[in-house]
Structure 1
Amino acid sequence: MRWSAGSVVVVALLTLGVVPAAADSTLIGAPGLGDPYYPLDGNGGYDVTHYDVSIDYEPVAHHLRGTARIDGRVTQPLAQFNLDYSGPPVLMVTVNGQPAGFARDDAHELVITPLLPLPPGLPMRIIVDYAGTAPDTEGKGWTHAPSGGAFAVGEPHGASTWYPLNDTPTDKATFTLHANVPAEWEVMSTGDRTEHVVRDGRLHTTWETRQPTIGYLTTVAVDHFTFLEQRRANGTAVLSAFAPESGENRADEQRLPEILDFLENLYGPYPFDVAGGIYVDTKLPFSLETQTRPTYAPWADLNTVVHELAHQWWGDTMSVRQWSDICLNECFASYTADYLWAERIDHADVDTEYRETVATFLWVPTFWDVALAAPGVGDEFTSVYYRGPLFLHALRKLIGEDVFFTAIKDFVNAHRDGHASMPEFRAFLQTRTSMPLGEFLAEWLDGTSPPRDAFLYPGTLRR
């Protein structure tokens, strides 16, 4: 970010969404995975491997009808389990072809009771049908556009407002979207567009995200888009879309192949098979690194494009284990856009910029009072943007150019399609240098006051 008499009765009750008597607590999947910031995010008892989501959307009425097919594997005996979901009313749920009970619990829990308990190791296919008016979350998920269209964007949540899922960074899955809208509208999403055809007055599109992704990194956008098609020198297809009032962003998006070349030089091969961007014209306070095709607010500039594309490495292919690890996403994306692009493309003196920033904020307590390593719930999207780049620049000057750039490239590539944490990053850095880093990392990452001068001005940053 840039800022649901006998077996006939049982089946009937299940189909109507009536949950039988409570299951044995040892056979119930956990309603959350205990993330320190969002403990009810995600669910226990299963792993998802693929989502296949089909939606019909009527922009004028804001009516959304969907079917989500969720393929995965059971990891513990399950008589009941949850999905994260806060969208339109659920009509029916099946598990492995059998009707299942369902109930909405709390703001975003869909509790599902299979007809028969599921043993561990069993493949599982959940199908959820849902339909109704899709309310406007105003940037916290399903969001209405000025044209009458809509798009889905939000971090750390957002996906659960338009389809049910296991909403946790630790359960990545591939993703297919089939979207059906009136023919005068267009659809954008993440991944490769494999179908785009008008039949009987409606547009049918299909999008395939072939590399595993997290829920908040998926999206759909419906609007009167115009398109920009490009191709990188290596053949990667680049498809970008612009909502009616976002055309002025086209010039920056035309530089996307150049930006990806720049990022590959820093972090290794681009981790996905397609690229692009989605420019909305709704007033949003942030843009978001939706996988393969970031979603941009109207104010987005070239710096924002570089930031969100850097996230394709730092945040998308390599994702956080917990939300407390958010510096791995935002510190690196911010440093890439604010310092590395400025230095290597615009030839800016970033050492001077660093010193001037430190001098400006050295005696401002609020600049330092949120730790980078674990900002705390509600503060995760604060200091990582403005102090994260300073930390990384100081680290670079402390351990040297070659060690720094080789280490960060190796680290992000070692976790492609996977996860990493701040403790892992700290331990990895120490394996790349004989210089003791413990105190430096503690003061920069754990501290809530300025680091001592030796760590604030290492190497060529010394005053």
Structure 2
Amino acid sequence: MTPLRRQPARRRTAVLRPGAVLATVPVALAALVGATGPTAVGTAGASGAGDPYFPLSGNGGYHVRHYDLTLGYDPSSRHLEGRASLAARATQNLSRFDLDLTGMKVTGVTVDGTRAAFRRDGQELVVTPGRTVGAGHDFRVTVTYGGTPKPVTDPDGSADGWIPTDDGAFVAGEPQGAMTWFPANSHPKDKSSYDITITVPQGRTAVAGGELLGQHTAHGRTTFHWRETQPTAAYLATATVGNFQVERYTTRDGIHVYNAVDPREAKAAAPVLKQLPSVLAWESKLFGPYPFRSAGSIVDHANVGYALETQTRPLYDSAPDIDTLVHESAHQWFGDSVSLTAWKDIWLNEGFATYAEWLYEEQHGGDSAQKTFDSLYARPASDELWAYPPGDPGSGANIFGTPVYARGAMTLHELRKAVGDRDFFRILRAWAADHRGGHGTTAQFVRLAGQLSGKHLDGLFHTWLFTKGKPNRA
């Protein structure tokens, strides 16, 4: 994410049939046993995924394998109608489970086609199926809902989720906004594939991640069908709607590019978006093969104050500059393909994407990464850069703060100096390859860096990631 104009740079296949299993989706599941019969004794799934920064985000007791979302949106009334069908697998004998959903009126819930009881409890949609779902059993929950979606306000004061615009909606879900527009297991630990079908008034365009399978217009409305088969965290899904100019092409590397640009931003955006293929090629040389089949950009005229690395198709609230394009593109490796297991580890997303900016500058006639590091280190101990350690920012309010971005990048530069360029880039490529489509933790990255370099690096990471205040230079 590229932040509220305050950091160096905030936020950012086989056809899957409904109900089919996506074998490539990795998730840390409980030990699975055979599905139990209807008389099995079940327990309620947890109301959160256990993240201390966002205790109610995500849910326990099941993993969502695939979301099939059918949406209709009217920008003039700001009304959204939705039907969400979730293919899931129980990880315990499940008598009850929660979905994250806020602000929408639910009109019906079924589990495996049978009507289920439900109630609302804050951001939780609590579902009680007619009988226990056995551990290891695949099941389908379908929710019909509607209303006027509204963004949530994050701990740092920014808007997040379904954000209405003058011609549609800017839909950015980090860290908790997915629940404003569809029922979800909304924590990065739970990654899924997606089919998103969106119907909007004729003349508007609806854009999501992955591949556009088709669009058709009838009776003054146009329907767009998007599919993303690769594992995706809920916050990285989008269904952005607006008046867009669309550009489509395929890069030399076979990546399918789809750019959607608000006409008011087109002139300013064009020179930067033209560089997307070269940026992806450059990052592929550094980090390893691009992890998805699709790429592109959604450039809106939204003035929300940040960009977001929505999977395969970053979302910009206005025409981006080249640093922002590099940043959000780097997230496709670090944050999207390799995702977090806890929000406290967000430096693995933002520090890496920020350091990608430094490397791009260094290799394209700008300041060296060392010069950028030195200018930051020159800041006094009272500067916000040193306000808290990036390896554990301490609260949800801090995860998009300067230390996570800039000091996170400084940590990587210290690692680069300690191990040398050859091993440093080996480490980055191995990290992206070993955890592709899955998850990673700070402890795993520290261990990998030590293994590949043959050096003892615990002190370096402790100093730069976990020490309060301004670190002493080695």
Give the alignment's TM-score, normalised by structure 2: 0.88
Correspondence for 1:81: 97
Q: Decide which of 107, 111, 131 is 1:116's aligned counterpart.
A: 131
Q: Decide which of 282, 289, 298 is 1:262's aligned counterpart.
A: 282
| Letter matched to residue 252 of structure 1 | V
Correspondence for 2:258: 239
Counting only pairs closer than 5 Å after superposition, residues 3-402 of structure 1 correspond to structure 2 as 3=10, 27-106=43-122, 108-137=123-152, 139-147=159-167, 149-247=168-266, 248-298=268-318, 300-337=320-357, 339-359=358-378, 361-377=379-395, 378-382=397-401, 383-402=403-422
Alpha-carbon offset, residue 399 of structure 1: 1.1
The CA RMSD over aligned residues, in Å, is: 1.6
Distance 2:285 2:244 in 1: 32
Distance 2:71 2:372 in 1: 48
Secondary structure of the equivalent of 2:214?
strand
Q: Quick one: structure 1 residues 133 and 121, their matched pair in 2 at CA, closer, same or farther if it must change by over 3 Å?
A: same
Alpha-carbon offset, residue 434 of structure 1: 3.2
Contact 1:141–1:154 under 8 Å retained in 2: yes
Secondary structure of the equivalent of 1:50?
strand
Q: Quick one: structure 1 residues 443 and 33, their matched pair in 2 at CA, closer, same or farther if it must change by over 3 Å?
A: same
CA-to-aligned-CA distance 1:152-211 (integer Å, 9 cap, x gap): 113111111000010111110000101111112111111100011112221011000010
Q: Quick one: structure 1 residues 345 and 365, their matched pair in 2 at CA, closer, same or farther if it must change by over 3 Å?
A: closer
Secondary structure of the equivalent of 1:364?
coil
| Letter matched to residue 291 of structure 2 | P
Distance 2:203 2:431 in 1: 46
Distance 1:25 1:326 in 2: 38
Contact 1:87–1:163 under 8 Å retained in 2: no
Correspondence for 2:451: 431
Correspondence for 2:7: none
Q: Quick one: structure 1 residues 136 and 390, their matched pair in 2 at CA, closer, same or farther if it must change by over 3 Å?
A: closer
Distance 1:353 1:93 in 2: 53
Secondary structure of the equivalent of 2:389?
coil
Contact 2:230–2:292 under 8 Å retained in 1: yes
Distance 1:426 1:91 in 2: 48
Correspondence for 1:457: none
CA-to-aligned-CA distance 1:417-443 (integer Å, 9 cap, x gap): 000001111111111223321221111
Secondary structure of the equivalent of 1:91?
strand
Correspondence for 2:24: none
Distance 2:380 2:418 in 1: 19
Secondary structure of the equivalent of 2:325?
helix
Greater length-normalized contact order (CA 8 Å, ≥ 6 residues apart): 2
Secondary structure of the equivalent of 2:413?
helix
Contact 1:139–1:154 under 8 Å retained in 2: no
Distance 2:54 2:162 in 1: 20
Say whether residues 1:451 and 2:451 are aligned partners: no
Alpha-carbon offset, residue 346 of structure 1: 2.5
Distance 1:366 1:206 in 2: 44
Alpha-carbon offset, residue 362 of structure 1: 4.0
Structure 1 alignment gaps of length 5 or more: 4-23, 455-463
Alpha-carbon offset, residue 57 of structure 1: 0.9
| Letter matched to residue 306 of structure 1 | V
Alpha-carbon offset, residue 365 of structure 1: 4.8
CA-to-aligned-CA distance 1:7-51 (integer Å, 9 cap, x gap): xxxxxxxxxxxxxxxxx9961111112112112211111111000
Alpha-carbon offset, residue 352 of structure 1: 2.5
Distance 2:383 2:170 in 1: 38
**Which moved further from structure 2: 209-218 or 361-370?**
361-370
Q: Quick one: structure 1 residues 87 and 436, their matched pair in 2 at CA, closer, same or farther if it must change by over 3 Å?
A: same
| Letter matched to residue 160 of structure 1 | M
Distance 2:79 2:371 in 1: 53
Secondary structure of the equivalent of 2:445?
helix
Secondary structure of the equivalent of 2:159?
coil
4+ long deviations beyond 4 Å: none
| Letter matched to residue 186 of structure 2 | D
Contact 2:170–2:302 under 8 Å retained in 1: no
**Which moved further from structure 2: 421-430 or 309-318?**
421-430
CA-to-aligned-CA distance 1:264-308 (integer Å, 9 cap, x gap): 001111000110010110111210000000000215211101000
Aligned residues: 430
Identity score, percent: 37
CA-to-aligned-CA distance 1:230-253 (integer Å, 9 cap, x gap): 321022111111123221212211
Q: Quick one: structure 1 residues 81 and 363, their matched pair in 2 at CA, closer, same or farther if it must change by over 3 Å?
A: closer
